[in-house]
């Protein structure tokens, strides 16, 4: 046997808790990322600390949580009971240590396995925990999970509670940046789900009076409501639902014990089933499920004893039972009984809403029948186009779990042109990155009906590649990245694709799945070093660093970047700009202005903003 293939006692190694977390962070916090996606690791770290504060609130201890993010340092302070002072160090640095194993103390907790705060500690360059109880304070500081300072217990006049301050380790989270929009969304969700809770984030106060009703009002504009939001709540379950006038597909927000289960689970499956069953029985008509749920915008929150999630990041509920005590119902029965009783009663008491809902279902039924022939032809065309070989170069990630095809790290790059798609295809990670090749510029789909999605080959095949024809649950890629040249044509293609998604699949943007790929504009190099620059400012800094007279290359398009170089831009150091929607943005008004026939208004807008840009450039020149 060759020396390199020998397997002896020397090959066996034991890792302590912090080494294992740092070596395999994905097991504890999902993907790492750089902060451009709402499920990137730095937000999971914030969530893990906040979850502990929420659990204190749920147990009746502390109604206010203070969160601050300055530069790259996060501070979270609650006014709960405080960690028992003798266990402060253990709770944040010893695996399988915590109070949540005692179900009497934390009956419906989010975090049950004693891992969350330890992961934050191990993955932070700086970590400090302070606990105040009975006018005494205990604090400790760590770096990469290693204890560097343990303070003695001291007297204090501070209010009781726990404060955690941490800075994510830049050797693990490379080039990361907190996007406040994602943190605000997280904070708001916590408030929607916990009546009476106030969270102060960077000095701004967040509070919810009406729970999930407030969430839906934040999600959908009043003008787009088919009927007033139905808001039902009792004990451990709460729902809010309506239908959109303009949105085509289904939009769900689901929560368990205050945790946003972005990938659903047993409770969401039961809820989708219960809505259809209840509505069929109320109207005494065998509606198609897709007609009942088309354009629905809804949210559900339930509380479960000792929930079982399918991963440490708790994005999908696996529990089938509400609790472990004898006689407790299944999740399916619990959700179904609530919806059947409460929604049926609501519709009987509110006939105007019931009539509006019926009209919406019948409209969906007519549209489905009108599209049925076109959809069949479109699917036949997709098969003939040999989708997986011609347009889509797929990845392996979503094939590893047939029950849950979407992998958190899976990415689809949408490119235009053979050279660009060729470069990305050759340099991508085949396990998690797929490429969809456009042919020319897409159609401007503004104002068109869903019929155009099936009649237009590019849109039909893109929809099929994403598997979002009926709803978002089957979305095959967690990240959808528009990768076009940084020139006028490339910008136009971006705009047309964004229009397509806003017009037919806005929830894909609302849920944070759509991005623009940033690629370098310049390469500045000498014999010793190469620097890729994404702006004119970065180019000037690189020239200053590499003087005298480095070689400068201006990339005019993606196709000019070799596959070997492209690996630098779509790997660990990938730069993505998320497409975000302001809460007050009307999709109809947005598309009407930018993509409609109001050419004079757009011209005035361009001229006005171009003048501002030229004035800015002139100031820089001076």
Q: At how many degrees (to 10) do helices 457-466 and 351-384 cross? A: 100
pLDDT in tens, 334-363: 999 999 999 999 999 999 999 999 999 999
Say what percent of the chain tops pLDDT 90: 41
- Return the pLDDT at 161: 95
Q: What is the pLDDT of residues 475-529, one digit of tens each?
A: 889 899 999 887 788 888 998 999 899 888 888 888 889 999 988 889 999 988 9
Name the E strands within 355-498: 392-393, 407-416, 433-438, 477-483
Would you place residue 1 in the very low, low, confident or very high pLDDT band (cuts 50, 70, 90)? Answer: very low
Q: What pLDDT, in 10s, does the model give residues 388-420?
A: 456 888 887 655 554 455 566 789 999 987 777
Q: What is the pLDDT of residue 588?
A: 67
Q: How confident is the model at residue 557 (pLDDT cuts 50, 70, 90)?
A: confident
What is the distance of C-alpha 163 from the center of its chain?
26
Pair type for strands 154-155 and 522-525: unpaired
Q: 143: part of which helix (H) or strand (E)?
A: strand 136-143
**Predicted pLDDT of residue 368:** 87
Strand-pairing partners, residue 68, are 75
If pLDDT is split at 50, 70 and 90, which confidence band does 448 have? confident
Query: Please, is 70 exposed, middle or buried when counting C-beta atoms within 10 Å of its C-beta (0-12, 13-18, 19+)?
Result: exposed
Interacting residues of 279 by C-beta distance below 8 A, sequence separation 6+: 287, 292, 343, 357, 361
Q: Who contacts 259 (Cβ-Cβ below 8 Å, separation ≥6)?
A: 51, 110, 309, 314
pLDDT of 14 reads 61
- pLDDT, position 141: 97
Q: Locate tokens 């709402």: which residue?
A: 38
Q: How many CB atoms lie within 10 A of CB 95?
A: 15
How much is the mean pLDDT over the chain? 84
Higher pLDDT, 438 or 607: 438
Weakest mean pLDDT among 78-82, 486-490, 522-526, 533-537: 486-490
pLDDT in tens, 455-476: 888 888 898 888 887 667 778 8
pLDDT band at 620 (very low <50, low <70, confident <90, very high): very low
CA 457 to chain centre: 29
Instruction: For 224-269, write each residue's pLDDT tens digit.
Output: 899 999 999 998 999 999 999 888 888 899 998 888 888 888 999 9
Residue 607, pLDDT score? 73
DSSP 329: P
Q: What is the pLDDT of residue 385?
A: 56
Give the pLDDT band (50/70/90) at residue 272: very high
DSSP 180-214: HHHHHHHHHHHHHHSTT-EEEETTEEEE-SSTHHH
Tokens of 490: 């490339």
**182: alpha, beta or left? (left if phi > 0; alpha if psi -120 to 50):** alpha
Q: Over 80: is that where the pLDDT of 373 sits?
A: no
Burial of 167 (0-12, 13-18, 19+ CB in 10 A): middle
All domains of the chain, ordered by start, with CATH? Answer: 17-207 (3.30.565.10), 212-370 (3.30.230.10), 385-519+565-585 (3.40.50.670), 522-554 (no CATH)
| This prediction's pTM | 0.80
Cα torsion through 199, 204, 205, 209, rounded to 10: -110
């Amino acid at each position: 046997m060759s020396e390199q293939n020998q397997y002896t006692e020397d090959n066996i190694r034991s890792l302590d808790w912090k080494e294992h977390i740092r070596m395999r962070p994905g097991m504890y916090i999902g993907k790492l990322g750089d902060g451009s996606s709402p499920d990137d690791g730095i937000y999971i770290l914030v969530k893990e600390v906040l979850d502990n504060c929420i659990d204190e609130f749920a147990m009746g201890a502390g109604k206010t949580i203070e969160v601050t993010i300055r530069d790259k340092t996060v501070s979270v302070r609650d006014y709960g009971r405080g960690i028992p002072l003798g266990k402060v160090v253990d709770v944040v640095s010893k695996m399988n240590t915590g109070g949540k194993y005692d179900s009497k103390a934390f009956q419906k907790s989010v975090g049950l396995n004693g891992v969350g705060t330890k992961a934050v500690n191990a993955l932070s360059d700086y970590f400090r925990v302070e606990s105040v109880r009975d006018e005494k304070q205990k604090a400790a500081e760590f770096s990469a999970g290693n204890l560097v300072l343990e303070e003695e217990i001291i007297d204090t006049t501070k209010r009781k509670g726990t404060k955690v301050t941490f800075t994510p380790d830049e050797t693990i989270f490379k080039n990361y940046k907190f996007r406040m929009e994602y943190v605000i969304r997280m904070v708001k969700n916590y408030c929607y789900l916990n009546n009476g809770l106030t969270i102060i984030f960077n000095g701004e106060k967040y509070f919810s009076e009406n729970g999930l009703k407030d969430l839906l009002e934040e999600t959908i504009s009043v003008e787009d409501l088919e009927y007033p939001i139905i808001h039902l709540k009792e004990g451990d379950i709460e729902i809010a639902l309506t239908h959109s006038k303009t949105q085509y597909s289904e939009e769900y927000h689901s929560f368990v014990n205050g945790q946003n289960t972005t990938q659903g689970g047993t409770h969401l499956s039961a809820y989708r089933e219960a809505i259809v069953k209840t509505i069929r029985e109320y109207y005494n008509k065998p509606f198609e499920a897709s007609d009942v749920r088309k354009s629905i915008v809804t949210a559900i929150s339930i509380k479960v004893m000792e929930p079982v999630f399918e991963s440490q990041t708790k994005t999908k509920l696996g529990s089938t039972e509400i609790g472990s005590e004898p006689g407790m119902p299944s999740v399916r029965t619990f959700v179904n009984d609530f919806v059947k009783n409460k929604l049926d009663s609501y519709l009987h008491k509110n006939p105007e809403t019931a009539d509006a809902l019926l009209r919406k279902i019948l409209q969906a039924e007519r549209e489905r029948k009108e599209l049925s022939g076109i959809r069949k032809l479109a699917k036949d065309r997709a098969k003939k186009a040999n989708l997986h070989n011609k347009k889509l170069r797929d990845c392996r990630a979503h094939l590893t779990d047939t029950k849950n095809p979407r992998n958190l790290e899976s990415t689809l790059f949408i490119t235009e042109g053979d050279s660009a798609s060729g470069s990305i295809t050759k340099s991508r990670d085949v396990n998690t990155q797929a490429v969809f090749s456009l042919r020319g510029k897409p159609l401007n789909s503004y104002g068109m009906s869903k019929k155009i999605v099936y009649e237009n080959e590019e849109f039909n095949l893109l929809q099929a590649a994403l598997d979002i024809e009926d709803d978002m649950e089957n979305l095959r890629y967690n990240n959808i990245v528009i990768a076009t040249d940084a020139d006028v044509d490339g910008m136009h293609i971006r705009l047309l694709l964004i229009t397509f998604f806003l017009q037919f699949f806005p929830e894909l943007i609302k849920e944070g799945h759509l991005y623009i790929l940033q690629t370098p504009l310049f390469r500045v190099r000498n014999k010793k070093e190469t620097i890729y620059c994404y702006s004119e400012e970065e180019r000037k800094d690189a020239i200053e660093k590499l003087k005298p007279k480095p070689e400068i290359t201006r990339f005019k398009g993606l196709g000019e970047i070799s596959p070997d170089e492209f690996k630098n831009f779509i790997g660990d150091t990938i730069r993505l700009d998320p497409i975000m929607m302001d809460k007050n943005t009307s999709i109809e008004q947005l598309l009407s202005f930018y993509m409609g026939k109001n050419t004079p208004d757009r011209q005035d807008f361009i001229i006005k903003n171009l003048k501002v840009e030229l004035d800015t450039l002139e100031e820089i020149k001076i």
